[in-house]
Amino acid sequence: MTARTRARTRTRARTAVASALLAALVAGPLAGAAVAVQPGAAASGVVSSGGDVPADGGPDIVALEKALTGIPDGDISAALVRVGGKGGWTGTAGVRDLRTGAPALEHARFRAGSTTKVVTAALVLQLVAEGRVKLDAPVTRYLPGLLPDSFTEPPTVRHLLTYTSGLQPGANLGSTTEEMYPNRFRTLSPQRVVATAVAKGPASAPGERQKYQNIDYTVLGLLIEKVTGDRYEHRADVRIFRPLGMRHTGFPAGPDPRIHGPHHRAYTDIGGRTTDVTEWNMSDRWAAGNMISTTADLERFLVALFRGEVVPQPLLDQMFVVPDVEGATYGMALERFVHDGTEIWGKTGSRPGYHTVLAATRDLSRTVVYSVNAKSAREDGFPLVARFALPAFDRWTSHSE
């Protein structure tokens, strides 16, 4: 079979996995979150691919299909991958529920984690384009009283967007998944997070170093609300989600721990046991990481953003400027990454049981969005990126068979 023929063919492969595999994944009953396998249930995997490989090359479909093979496994229960640009491809694999073995859903909703920050950055830059916010103005111009006297030099809006504010992290409900799990239904407001952060004083002078953290974007969420006089979630909806037709993207209502609509169950290891962590109040992540979306919606947003349809081109160009700070890799929300000579801009997102990526070349010759339900979602995410994202940027070779 030639590479071109292979790329045009849509295949559906169901892989039966013995009940013993699921039994190995589930290490007994858990308080409040037991994962029990129905008798005779089998894990199912579906891989579907399609699209023409252009003459000048396309995504490495063989590697992408291989990445989805064998799911569910000991770590990953489901994976959704969408590749666009020159040569499109979609893949779905795994199960939506370990109890039943029901197959994964291509359009499932998921917790998109810190990819939310790209939406927040876009909202701020829209306000800049309208003359309501200035990039190099101190944040205290828009949030008076935000900073105590220990801040002799307040960070600017640009500093917040590029993770160079010098702020310290605020209060949290635990630094590890095991610590957070007992608190998963508690509420920690963004205002409380910010208040506890600024009370510590600055960690460094603004612009001195780049440190990726949530606090910068939590402050930006407050800025958006102050400037617009509206809730952050509603501004995201009316300014971005609705205009782009992102019908399955939004935020939970306050502390609501559920994902409404079709979705996959999420799992992680707590105390050495497989634990269902789907229901979780993520409101403390708010403008930094509380969005729920689908791969199709995130792809729509990514393409529109890079085309200059969300943020005007001059400001969009500034999103891709990495500060002149030692070790810096981020522009505004997005991180720069070079793979085999190809410059890629993207953002990862991780919550317990969920790992998400959106990434593209600036010219949109290649885009990738994925959501993976993985126990390792909050660990080092590079193995997942290497498995599910990087093959999208590898040039197609013939893979003669």
Token pair for 138:
């101190």
Quote the DSSP letter at residue 40.
T
Q: For the chain, what's the residue count?
A: 401
C-alpha closest to that of 7 among 86, 71, 80: 86
The three-state secondary structure class of 370 is strand
- Asked if 235 and 248 count as a contact pair (C-beta separation under 8 A), the reply is no
The set of residues, in sequence order, having a beta carbon less than 8 Å from that of 226 and lying 6+ positions away, is 142, 143
User: Rounded to the nearest 5 degrees, what angle is found at the Cα of 141, between the Cα atoms of 136 and 143?
Assistant: 120
Tokens of 139: 């944040």
Residue carrying the six token digits 């529109």: 304
- What span, in angstroms and rounded, lies between the C-alpha atoms of 97 and 35? 9
3-state per-residue secondary structure call for 108-141: CEEEEECCHHHHHHHHHHHHHHCCCCCCCCEHHH
User: Is 167 within 8 Å of 173 (Cβ atoms)?
Assistant: no
CA angle 78, 84, 86 (to 5 degrees): 140
Dihedral of CA atoms 67, 69, 74, 75 in degrees, nearest 10, equals 30
Residue 114 known to be catalytic? yes
| Alpha carbons within 13 A on the beta-carbon side of 131 | 0
Phi, psi (5° rounding) for residue 298? -65, -35
Contact 75, 318 (CB under 8 A): no
Q: Indicate which residue of 49, 114, 165, 293 is catalytic.
A: 114
Q: Closest by alpha carbon to 120, among 163, 170, 167?
A: 163
Compute the distance between CA of residue 399 and CA of residue 381 in angstroms, rounded to an integer. Answer: 28
Active site amino acids: 114
